[in-house]
Amino acid sequence: MIQCLTMTSLKTKNICFLAAFLFLAIVPTLAEVVGIVQNCNQFLYPPGTPPEIPGVLVGGGIQNNNRYKVICQTYNGVQRFLTVYDTENKIPVFSAYEYRGSAGGRPDPTWMIEPQLDVQPAQDNINMRTQGRTTCNNQAVNADYDGNGRGYAKGHLFPVNHATTDDDKISTFTLTNAVPQVDGFNGGRWRVMEGKIKDEMDQNIFSNNIGIRCFVVVGAQPSDNNIPNNNLNNRVNIPSLMWSAFRCTNGVSGAYWDENIKRDPPRPMEKKTLQQLQDELGKTLQGFTLFPQNQPALKRSSSNSQQSQAGPSKQPRKSRSLPSSAGKS
């Protein structure tokens, strides 16, 4: 069994909830596993408008608090980005962040965990940290990936080359910001796509010098856990599809998605519209909306969406991993 260091004594749920609430009210910059997305809304555009994901996240509220966790990813006492995490599949549903420019090399830190997913909240557990000794029942750990011999990498959602400072870059190396990505996909089409988004956002933020800001949401569509070999170590779901969407405050936006497979020869990911991505994701989750208050001209995804707008895809994917009704786990 994988072990995790427990730093606090057990308390009742009510006392922990009250303590966490009071702590958030006094020191909001040290919040991590929070009850609603609005407690970490500085990474959303505009604040307080996260994606609408039926059965997972509706109106900024988690639909199944036992399974899905809102993490305000904190490193060295500073909130770096937002993640909604699926403790059953042990992968993030999505990570959201503001892109503020990036330069410099790639660090090589030890991958970290989020202690509050497996340890009762306490001030000394607010920061992501290395694994130590623990029982991590609610999240992935290095042992799930290392030595699996199946050709999967720890694939960032919030990528290193989109992070600004050295500490921001290190903070992306938390396993709550990673999914199993096929090696050829992670280091190929997906990496190239991240560079394309970065270049476009740089042009909008720095060329005009008029205060343009850009926000990004990156997500993973889980595969069906009932299919053999769709998990690492019988714990971590291997996503069937990865997607990324960005929107800048001047209205410039775009989206990319592709299956988590190796292609030979590799086929570059094509830029699509937010609507096309919503239609693609809506094949599995009807009503999926990326930027709810910033898309007045966009319709919510539906089963009646025109297939010609959805980009390259196959038959609708079945997934029990993101339920269509609240409370299902």
Tens digits of residue pLDDT in 165-218: 999 999 999 999 999 999 999 999 999 999 999 999 999 999 876 899 999 999
pLDDT of 150 over the 50 cut: yes
CA distance 34 to 117: 11
**Residue 121: cis peptide before it, omega within 30 degrees of 0:** no
What is the dihedral sign for C-alpha 142, 146, 150, 154?
Answer: positive
| Percent of the chain clearing pLDDT 90 (strictly above) | 56
β-strands 152-156, 231-232: how paired? unpaired
d(CA 98, CA 72): 13
C-alpha closest to that of 74 among 177, 154, 180: 177
The mean pLDDT value for 13-29 works out to 36
- Which of the two residues, 140 and 38, has the higher pLDDT score? 140
Residue 258 CA to residue 243 CA, distance in Å, equals 7
Rounded CA separation 314/35 (Å) = 36
Cα separation, 81 vs 113, whole angstroms:
15
- Tens-digit pLDDT profile for residues 255-295: 999 999 989 888 889 999 999 999 999 998 888 999 886 55
| Helix, strand, or coil (residue 6) | coil
Instruction: Kindly report which listed range (35-39, 46-50, 124-128) carries the lowest average pLDDT score.
Output: 35-39
Report yes or no on whether pTM surpasses 0.85: no
d(CA 33, CA 295): 28
How are beta strands 68-75 and 61-62 bridged, if at all? unpaired
Contact in structure between 15 and 120 (CB atoms under 8 Å): no
* Angle at the Cα of 229 from the Cα atoms of 223 and 233, rounded to 5 degrees: 100
User: Which pair of tokens denotes residue 323?
Assistant: 């339920």
Q: Which CATH superfamily is domain 13-309 in?
A: Extracellular Endonuclease, subunit A (3.40.570.10)
DSSP letter (8 states) at residue 299: P
What whole-number distance in Å separates Cα of residue 80 and Cα of residue 127? 11
Distance CA 181, CA 200 (A): 24
How close are the terminal C-alpha atoms of the chain, in Å?
23
φ and ψ of 31, to 5 deg: -75, 145
